Amino acid sequence: MDKSLPPRRPLVLASASPRRLALLQQIGIEPTALLPTDLDETPRRNEAPRALASRLALEKAFAARDVASKRDDLADSLILAGDTVVCVGRRILPKCEIREEAQDCLRLLSGRAHRVFTGIALCTSNGKTRERVVESRLRFKRLSGREVEMYLATDEWRGKAGGYAIQGQAAMFVARLIGSYSGVVGLPLYETAALLVGEGYPVLGGRFGDSG
């Protein structure tokens, strides 16, 4: 009996994030192409964190699909996109680019609970779309001023929502995590695999999610 994987359709990851790529590779998936998008990620007026994560994931997927549709090798691709939003209550924290932003985020998160919403969207060349939003809840230990300064010196916070990277040295700040670790990193693997299988893309020989 041939136990090799069935042929896979082209898969485009609409991201330049090395973290999302590494997570896909962790479950044996190598995207055919990376098509990062350049979108305005500013929240709309009164937009809730969950809604923002969902909207941005969909917008990234649609933008990448438009680019892929113009390439013969990618015209029939599945397009996978994701976006991560960190919030305290309804306050959405920025994807930090300057030290002062990251410092403010870390001081706010110190000793407090916060939530991470990661939206994922999968769309096809004919416009069919599947999506999920995964919520994780975390609590940071109380951070000393020295700990904040030492973490800022690592530069891990650059470009990270909430000013930290859980897969790096900030892991020592997380006193509790309820939800998806991979979702906090940037791509919830359970939900991503389920979306792909639902669209006929083989994961683990196509048996992912079988109850038998």
Contact 141, 194 (CB under 8 A): no
- For residue 189, the one-letter residue type is L
pLDDT at site 211: 39
Q: Is the pLDDT of residue 207 over 60?
A: no
User: What is the residue-averaged pLDDT of the chain?
Assistant: 92
Q: Report the pLDDT averaged over residues 173-184.
A: 98
Q: Write the single-letter amino acid at 147.
A: E
Task: Give the model's pLDDT for residue 13.
Answer: 97
Angle at 168 between CA 164 and CA 173, to 5 degrees: 60
What is the pLDDT, as a whole number, of residue 4? Answer: 58
When pLDDT is averaged across residues 137-146 and rounded to a whole number, the result is 98
- The distance of Cα 37 from the centroid of its chain, to the nearest Å, equals 14
| AA letter at 98 | I
| 83 annotated active-site | yes
pLDDT band for 126, please (50, 70, 90 cuts).
confident
Mean pLDDT on 145-174? 97
pLDDT at 175 over 80: yes
**At 203, is the pLDDT very low, low, confident or very high (cuts 50, 70, 90)?**
confident
Q: Is the pLDDT of residue 93 over 70?
A: yes
Q: Residue 1: its pLDDT value, please? A: 37
| Reported confidence tier of residue 210, pLDDT bands at 50, 70, 90 | very low
**Catalytically annotated residue among 2, 73, 83, 155:** 83
Catalogue all structural domains in the chain, each as residue range(s) with its CATH number.
Answer: 11-205 (3.90.950.10)
Angle at 33 between CA 207 and CA 86, to 5 degrees: 80
Task: Please give the structure tokens belonging to residue 3.
Answer: 């136990």
Average pLDDT over residues 181-191: 97
Residues 36-64, mean pLDDT to the nearest whole number? 95
pLDDT at 198 over 60: yes
pLDDT bin (cut points 50, 70, 90) of residue 3 is low
